[in-house]
Copies of this chain bind each other. A is one copy, B any other.
Amino acid sequence: MTATVTELALRARDAATVLAGLHRAAKDAALLTMADAVDASIADVLAANAADVDSARSTGTPEAIIDRLALNETRVAAMAAGLRDTAGLADPIGDVVRGGTLANGLEVRQVRVPFGVVGMIYEARPNVTVDAAGLCLKSGNAVLLRGSSSASRSNAAIVAILRDAVDKSGLPPDAIQLVDASTRQTVHDLMTARGLVDVLIPRGGAELIRSVVDGSTVPVIETGVGNCHVYVDANADLDMALSILLNAKTSRPSVCNAAESLLVHATVARPFLLAALPALADAGVIVHGTPEVLALADSVGVAAILATEEDHGREYLSLDLSARVVDSLDEAVAHIRRYGTGHSETIVTGSLAVAREFTGAVDAAVVLVNASSRFVDGGEFGYGAEIGISTQKLHARGPMGLAELTSTKYVVTGTGHTR
């Protein structure tokens, strides 16, 4: 019989109590043992994954999703390498965030402590299983992993290997537990496990994230939807702008930090678009533009589609791009405020004053000046394997590192102080 989410969570709480007291050395040793175990079990993981892939193919799953599900030797080796990288990261637990001595002599320290139990609800990619397990263990948290049913054999194989390695390292294996993915009930149970699960992190499509945010009584860290804009200012270096636009749109269109929308200042719209539209077309990008954009596209013989209102708000995750000409910085900021999802917004400009105004006025997790939004990533920021990119304002915003998987505790020390 399968354990209920409550049973798993209670075991996780006990494990978390042990993890919270561990020093970095013990956690790193376990992470390295986990990495070695993954390397030694590539065949087992690939066999389980092949069964998942066969099953997905037989039910007509699109190849794009199969690609996210499928593992090979390189991908499994990358999981093990990620665990070793995590072992190499500094341990945030015990860091003194603030501290001092009050006028009355009381010593106050605010110290980083683990959350306790983290719940992950995520879709196809089995590498999330390893990344989340490693980051949670390093930050002293137990983790409940609720992956997708399509990856259930892969995830079961991976979690068995990781638990065994944790056990061999002398740590509680219940620090890493897989939640039954064969029923939606377990998602509901995780979302309502307030008091047992300290935080839920959903990773996946917009619909998954929305349903967790709306239905959960456990605190949630919202990740991911990115309708990211590139704004080409009147003062932009147009070659730089084109290079950034092409990189942000085409280097990996399926990810949340890819560009989805182009805004161009009217002053430079003609020269920029006359160069950009053919280059985008060459890269396979379909532009959904306003009439001004379409006219310029037509003048250079490039096909483009008239943008609907809906296009401006879409996260395509494909080689599509909405495009609009704006008359001012204010109009660009207002457009982003209306259609943006608060993920990553880019300006290309040579003007310090304009850059300052844009970074101040745009309300997003990350605002970039003269750089591609593709850099918005925990690995690029030096935070190691990524648990997600938060698009909410509470607790964590932007790429989340180990510190974002912690809470704090005040320790106050006196000598018999009374008030």
Contact = CB atoms under 8 A, between A and B. Distances in A.
B365 A409 contact: yes
24 contacts: A20-B360, A21-B361, A102-B382, A106-B375, A116-B393, A219-B392, A219-B394, A243-B418, A251-B418, A364-B409, A367-B409, A368-B414, A369-B411, A369-B414, A372-B417, A372-B419, A375-B417, A376-B410, A376-B412, A394-B395, A397-B407, A398-B408, A398-B409, A399-B410
A416 to B, nearest CB: 4
Contacts of A364: 409
B411 A371 contact: no
Contacts of A370: 413-417
A376 B168 CA distance: 42
A374 B113 CA distance: 23
Given A106-B375, A115-B394, 15 more contacts: A110-B398, A116-B393, A214-B217, A219-B394, A237-B416, A247-B419, A355-B413, A369-B411, A370-B417, A376-B410, A376-B412, A397-B407, A397-B408, A398-B408, A398-B410
Nearest to A109: B359
A8 interface: no
A381 B108 contact: yes
Stoichiometry, as copies per complex, reads: 2
Given A368-B412, A414-B369, A419-B380, A393 B21 contact: no
A366 interface: yes
A198 interface: yes
A279 B363 CA distance: 57
Q: What does DSSP make chain A's interface, helix, strand, loop or mixed?
A: mixed
A367 B412 contact: yes
A30 interface: no
A110 B378 CA distance: 13
A244 interface: yes
A38 to B, nearest CB: 27
Contact of A410 (B110, B366, B415): B366
A264 interface: no
B412 A371 contact: yes
Interface of A: 17, 20-21, 102, 106, 108, 110, 113, 115-116, 194, 198-199, 213-214, 217, 219, 221, 237, 240, 243-244, 246-248, 251, 355, 359-361, 363-372, 374-376, 380-382, 392-395, 397-399, 407-419
A418 B244 contact: yes
Contacts of A251: 418-419
Lowest 3 A-B CB distances belong to which pairs? A371-B414, A247-B418, A393-B407
A411 B247 contact: no
A229 to B, nearest CB: 15
A299 B56 CA distance: 75
A85 to B, nearest CB: 15
A383 to B, nearest CB: 10
Nearest to A369: B413
Given A370-B416, A416-B240, A416-B370, A359 B397 contact: no
A371 B237 CA distance: 61
A419 B243 contact: no
A214 B219 CA distance: 10
A15 to B, nearest CB: 14
A412 B243 contact: no
A151 B359 CA distance: 41
A72 to B, nearest CB: 23
Given A394-B219, A419-B375, A359 B414 contact: no
A248 B167 CA distance: 43
